[in-house]
């Protein structure tokens, strides 16, 4: 049967009412090897409760277990309702798409919820609502660094110079090739990336995507790439009152 190995591990670990480190690793490996669907995971959670209930049926502990199971059911149903209403995954990741305001709203929310730092590495910024949110965060003491494309900084409607004039650190590529990344890090704990450009046209007309990720490995890898680029690209400087890329 599909779940025989994992159920055997569940029953074995319950013999002494605790999960040892080895049992945790074995159970985790058994679950990963199954490549379970959300339905499979719900089934496994239910079996874990049933195994525990068999041992507590005639004791007062049964009522504690029943309470815990009911609470978890409510949480899972609430998560499902949120997913259906917001059309996003209720995991550690969020997906948004345009045309529409979803991508831009996620970015603005991340900016407003940042408390320490925002590192941005994007092709261009022309959406004034994102610009205004960045300035608000900067004024509140959030440390902001921006890496962008030197050519796009000169486009009509670009907010790059305005950002620079607010004393936010800006670095640009200096060659003929483009700095085409589109990602940002918020408090070094959240990563936003995807095809979405930080422009009004991306929200209003283009078919774009944005994902927000809280997974430690990916946040670390993108942080390393940002730091690598920040260390090698020239800073925007003021020349006689005007910025130079």
pLDDT tens digit sequence for 156-165: 778 898 999 9
Top-confidence residue, 10 or 3? 10
56-84 mean pLDDT: 60
Which of 62, 86, 110 delimits the end of a domain?
86
Domain count, the chain: 2
How do residues 130-152 score in pLDDT, each as one tens digit? 999 999 999 999 999 999 987 76
Tell me what pLDDT residue 244 has: 58
Tell me which of 11, 29, 63, 180 is the catalytic residue: 180
Known active-site residue 182: yes
Top-confidence residue, 108 or 66? 108
Domain match, 178 and 73 both: no
Which of 86, 107, 137 delimits the end of a domain?
86
Tell me which of 40, 105, 151, 187 is the catalytic residue: 187
Domain that includes residue 73, residue range: 4-86
Known active-site residue 81: no
Residue 77: cis peptide before it, omega within 30 degrees of 0: no
Domain match, 166 and 219 both: yes
**Could you tell me the pLDDT band of residue 1, with boundaries at 50, 70 and 90?**
very low
User: Is residue 122 a contact partner of residue 196, using CB atoms and an 8 Å limit?
Assistant: no
Quote the pTM value: 0.61
Tell me what pLDDT residue 22 has: 78
Known active-site residue 39: no
Q: What's the distance, CA 141 to chain centroid? A: 22
- Pairing outcome for strands 182-186 and 169-172: unpaired
Domain match, 70 and 118 both: no
Tell me which of 149, 152, 181, 182 is the catalytic residue: 182
123 vs 126: CA distance, rounded Å: 10
Tell me what pLDDT residue 90 has: 40
């Amino acid at each position: 049967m599909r779940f025989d190995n994992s159920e055997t591990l569940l029953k074995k670990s319950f013999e002494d009412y605790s999960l040892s480190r080895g049992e945790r690793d074995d159970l985790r490996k058994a679950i990963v090897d199954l490549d379970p669907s959300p339905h499979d995971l719900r089934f496994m959670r239910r079996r874990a409760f049933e195994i525990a209930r068999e041992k507590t049926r005639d004791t007062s502990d049964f009522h504690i277990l029943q309470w815990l199971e009911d609470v978890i059911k409510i949480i899972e149903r609430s998560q499902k309702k949120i997913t259906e209403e917001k059309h996003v995954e209720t995991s550690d990741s969020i997906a948004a798409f345009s045309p529409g305001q979803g991508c831009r709203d996620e970015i603005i929310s991340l900016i407003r919820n940042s408390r320490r730092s925002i590192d941005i590495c994007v092709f261009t910024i022309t959406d004034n609502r994102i610009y205004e949110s960045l300035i608000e965060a900067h004024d509140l003491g959030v440390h902001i660094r921006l890496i962008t494309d030197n050519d796009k900084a000169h486009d009509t409607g670009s907010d790059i110079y305005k950002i620079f004039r607010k004393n936010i650190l800006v670095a640009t590529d200096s060659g003929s090739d483009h700095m085409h990344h589109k990602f940002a890090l918020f408090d070094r704990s959240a990563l936003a990336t995807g095809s979405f450009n930080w422009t009004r046209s991306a929200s209003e007309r283009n078919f774009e995507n944005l994902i927000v990720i809280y997974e430690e490995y990916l946040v670390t890898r993108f942080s390393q790439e940002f730091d690598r680029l920040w260390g090698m690209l020239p800073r925007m400087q003021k020349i006689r009152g005007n910025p130079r890329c």
